[in-house]
Amino acid sequence: MEKDLGDYRKSYDKSELNEASILENPIEQFQKWFYEVEKTDGLEEPNAMTVSTIGLDGFPKNRVVLMKKYTHEGFIFYTNYESEKGKSLENNPSTCLSFFWPNLERQVIIKGKAEKIAENLSDGYFESRPLGSKLGAIVSEQSRVVASRKLMEDRLKDLEKEYEGKEVARPKYWGGYLVKPISIEFWQGRPNRLHDRIRYTLQEDFNWKIERLQP
């Protein structure tokens, strides 16, 4: 089987990224871009990001998850700590996050270290979730092999009866990660493939070094 995609071509000309207009702090620059993406039609989940980890088998693996918060410290998402992703981060906290916003022809690539957030913060977010999502976190032994979908659906029905009218506590194996960035790159599509790439790198004095990269 073969399919040639060489004719898939697009001109990038919606915006530009230059040193005169960027902010000194990359989290503030991220916030600026995120607000602009939210205001632009054509993207349902601007908080969708790719999380890359190095697995216990030595291979990198990417998956799309939803960022649930960002602060001056970094970027937060939630998962099962006993999943393949969680075990990978336990073994090697170095990770890469990437956002792709095609409606504005933009990417953001974040290198950093992942660490578990405080339990009370995970508790607070878990409490805000819909009941189905709470029970789903209990039903799913994430990344483990299961014989059929029916087994999970039956387990969900049992839990719906068990927790009817009751509070659902956060499982200890489920919670949030904070990715503290050491490098954040902003990519803006430009004509003739001469894209704008601006990289912020954290220095020992906690200031950010700003550099332009060739496309």
Active centre residues (catalytic):
193
Tokens of 77: 């998402």
